[in-house]
Amino acid sequence: MKNLSISPPMTEEQARALRAGDNVSITGTIYTGRDTAHRRMIDLLAAGKDLPFDIEGQIIYYVGPSPAPPDRPCGSAGPTTSGRMDPFAPELMRLGLRGMIGKGKRSAGVVEAMREHGAVYFGAVGGAAALIAGCVESVETVAWPELGPEAVFRFQVRRFPAIVVIDSQGTSLYETEPPRYRTKLAQGDEAP
């Protein structure tokens, strides 16, 4: 496991070099989107239209930020459950999406698309939503403002903490770590 700094956009080679368990610090532009925004993006593509931003090499954070307090660009910004984006993620990866940030397991189809197209899935800590918001330096609405917190936003982030949960080889901490944890407990050792 490594500690790495990432500045999107990422190349396929950069994404493929990341391994499950790597800690990353993201500085630069990331985009947000939840299931309604993802559905709209797929509908645009089906209609032969362009997406509201160039997705090549980008990272999408599955978040619906809460309203901004007077002194901040956004309120709490914790990750949402990623599985709701699973029907849409493979097509976006085919177009060059390199990273997704969220929480929870991903479907077999998403993991296969990650292997095929060279993408990674980052986990963000859900219980630290207010701390994560502190990494957001600016917020700009990119598309569908009528969706409120579920609109697509462009976040400028600085040292946004995440961990590679599933890498482009398909290695998933959701599968590798529970058996390791159970073994440690069975041996009477402290949890890893």
**What pLDDT, on a 0 to 100 scale, did the predictor assign at position 189?**
67
C-alpha distances (whole Å) from 187 to each of 70, 176, 180 are 51, 17, 11
**Looking at the domain assignment, is residue 192 inside a domain?**
no
191 in any annotated domain: no
Residue 152's CATH number = 3.20.130.10
Instruction: Note the pLDDT tens digit of each residue in 70-118.
Output: 888 988 888 999 999 999 999 999 999 999 999 999 999 999 999 999 9
Instruction: Report if residue 147 sits inside a domain.
Output: yes
> Does 14 reside within a domain?
yes
CA distance 6 to 25: 6
Residue 76's pLDDT is 85
Q: What pLDDT is recorded for position 133?
A: 86
Which residue range is the domain that position 127 belongs to? 3-186
| pLDDT score for 86 | 98
As for how many domains the chain has, the answer is: 1
Please give the pLDDT value at position 185.
Answer: 72
- Output the pLDDT for position 67: 85
Q: Can you tell me the distance from the alpha carbon of 25 to that of 97, in angstroms, rounded to the nearest whole number?
A: 18
pLDDT of residue 69: 86
pLDDT along the chain (192 residues), means of 10: 92 97 97 97 97 97 90 88 97 98 96 98 81 90 96 96 96 82 72 55
Q: CA Rg, the chain, in Å? A: 17
Question: Has residue 181 been placed in a domain?
Answer: yes
163: enclosing H helix or E strand: strand 152-166
